[in-house]
Chains A and B, each alone.
Chain A
Amino acid sequence: MVAAAFSTLMTMETEEAQIAQGLRRRDPEVLDALIEQYQHRLLRYLTHLTHNQATAEDLFQETWIRVLEKGHQYDGKSRFATWLMTIAHNVAIDHLRKKAPQSLDEMRDTEDAVPFEPVSTGLSPFEHAAAGEDRVRIQAALEQIAPIFREVLVLRFQEQLKLEEIAKLVGIPLATVKTRLYRGVQALRPALGGDPQ
C-alpha cells in the first residue's frame, strides 16, 4: 500500500515536472493537452467567481494566455491545478478591478447571469424537475453570497483543494479560509433547508 502511494506520488511529480518543462518550452501540444484537461474545472471556477458566463469565457481565454506567458514561473513542485487556479484568480481580480473601482469584497454582479449548462444526470423527469428547483434556489443563494465566500466554497467543494492550497491561491491566512468557509456555508443554509446559526 505504501509502495502504491509512493508510486502514485512519483507519477504525479513526474507529470507535474513534465508540465513545467512543456510550459518552459511553450510547447503547443502540452498547452493543448492542458486546456483539454482543465477546461471544465477552470470555466466552472470562473463562472462562479464572476457569475457571468460571457465574462467567464473571456477570462478563461485570458487565463490560458497568461499560463503561456508565465509558464516559466511554474516549477512543477506544486500541483498544476492549484497554480492554474491562482492564475485564474489573479486574472479575475485584474478584470474586476478594471471593471469597477471597488474591491472584490464589495463586488456584486448585477448583470444577467447566463444559466448553467447542465449535464445529463440520469434522473427521472420528476427528480429532474425537483433537482432543477433545488438548483435554482441554491443558485439564487449563491448569487447573494459575496464573491470572497463563494470563491472559497467553490475551491473547496468543487475543486477539492486543500485548505492550505486555497490560502495560498487566494493569498489569505489559513484561519481566514476557515472563517470564509464557515460563513459561506452558514449563508447557504437557508437555501439548503437548514437554519443559519
Chain B
Amino acid sequence: MNGHEHERAMDLIFRRDVEGIGQDEGQWLESHLATCQDCAGFELAMSDAAQALRSFPVMASSSLVEATKARVHARAEQLRERDARRFLIAISFAMGMVVSAISAWAWWKVGGWMVEQFSLPTVIVGPGLVLFWLMPTVFLGMMLVAFPESRFEGSLMQLFMKDRQRGIR
C-alpha cells in the first residue's frame, strides 16, 4: 500500500458525508479500510467527532433574537436616514454646480458689458465680479461657523428627508 492510496482514502473519508462520493469510490474506500488500520481508525474517529460535535446543541434565546431584531431595525432606520441625507446632498451639489456654471457665465458677460458701457478698468471689474460671485458661499460659510450644526438639524433639511423617506416606503 502506498502513500497515494492513503491520501486518496483520506480525501474520500473527508468527502463522504457532506459532498458524497460515487459508488465505485465507495467500494474502493471500503476495501481500503478493510485492509488499512490507520485509515479505518481515522474514519472511526472522524465519525465519532462528528457525532460528538452534533451533540452540543446551542440554542439562541428568544430575548437575544428579539434584541437583535430591534437593533437591526434601528440600524436600518439610521441607514435609511443616511441614504436620504446623501441623496439630498448629492442633489444639492449637482444643482449648485449647474447654477454656479450658468451664473458664472452670465456675470462674466455682465462684467464685459459694464467694461464696454462705462469704460471701467478690467483690473477692477474682474476681481470685483469674482468676489461678488463668491459672496453667497462666503455668507453660508460664515453662517455654518457661527451656528452649531444642531440649528440646521430638525429644520428644513429634515423636513425634506422625511418626505423622501415616506416616498421610499
User: A residues touching B (Cβ–Cβ < 8 Å)?
Assistant: 26, 28, 31-32, 35-36, 39-40, 42-44, 47-48, 57, 60-61, 64-65, 68-69, 116-119, 131, 134-135, 138-139, 142, 153-154, 156-158, 160-163, 178, 181-182, 184-186, 188-189, 191-195, 197
User: B residues touching A (Cβ–Cβ < 8 Å)?
Assistant: 10-11, 14-15, 17-19, 38, 41-42, 44-46, 48-50, 52-61, 64-65, 67-69, 71-73, 75-76, 79-80
Closest CB in chain B relative to A119 CB, distance in Å: 5
**A156 to B19 CA separation, bound complex (whole angstroms):** 11
**A35 to B38 CA separation, bound complex (whole angstroms):** 43
* 6 closest Cβ pairs, A-B complex: A39-B60, A157-B50, A44-B58, A157-B53, A43-B60, A192-B48
Q: Which residues of B contact A40 (CB under 8 A)?
A: 57-60
**A191 to B73 CA separation, bound complex (whole angstroms):** 44
Closest to B74 in A: A65
**A156 to B47 CA separation, bound complex (whole angstroms):** 11
Q: Is the CB of A157 within 8 A of B57?
A: no
Q: Is the CB of B57 within 8 A of A61?
A: no
Q: Is the CB of A138 within 8 A of B68?
A: no
Q: Which residues of A contact B45 (CB under 8 A)?
A: 185-186, 188-189, 192, 194
Q: Is the CB of A188 within 8 A of B52?
A: yes
**A32 to B69 CA separation, bound complex (whole angstroms):** 6
Known A65-B71, A189-B45; further 19 A-B contacts with Cβ < 8 A: A36-B65, A39-B65, A40-B58, A40-B60, A42-B60, A48-B56, A57-B64, A60-B60, A60-B64, A61-B67, A117-B59, A157-B49, A178-B11, A185-B45, A186-B42, A188-B48, A188-B49, A194-B45, A197-B41
Given contacts A43-B64, A61-B68, contact A119 B57 (CB under 8 A): yes
Q: Which residues of A contact B57 (CB under 8 A)?
A: 40, 44, 116-119
**A69 to B80 CA separation, bound complex (whole angstroms):** 11
**A68 to B76 CA separation, bound complex (whole angstroms):** 7
Given contacts A163-B15, A178-B14, contact A116 B75 (CB under 8 A): no
| 19 residue pairs from A and B, CB less than 8 Å apart | A26-B80, A32-B69, A40-B57, A48-B56, A64-B68, A64-B71, A68-B75, A117-B58, A119-B57, A138-B56, A156-B18, A157-B53, A162-B18, A178-B10, A182-B42, A184-B49, A186-B45, A188-B48, A197-B42
**A43 to B53 CA separation, bound complex (whole angstroms):** 14
Given contacts A134-B55, A162-B19, contact A153 B49 (CB under 8 A): yes
Q: Is the CB of A182 within 8 A of B10?
A: yes
**A30 to B64 CA separation, bound complex (whole angstroms):** 18
Q: Is the CB of B71 within 8 A of A135?
A: no
Q: Which residues of B contact A194 (CB under 8 A)?
A: 41, 44-45, 48
Q: Which of A43, A178, A192 contacts B58 (CB 8 A)?
A: A43
Q: Which residues of B contact A57 (CB under 8 A)?
A: 64
The CB with the most chain A CB atoms within 10 A, among B14, B18, B58, B67, is that of: B58
Q: Is the CB of B60 within 8 A of A28?
A: no
Q: Is the CB of B14 within 8 A of A181?
A: yes
Q: Is the CB of B75 within 8 A of A131?
A: no
Closest to B70 in A: A61
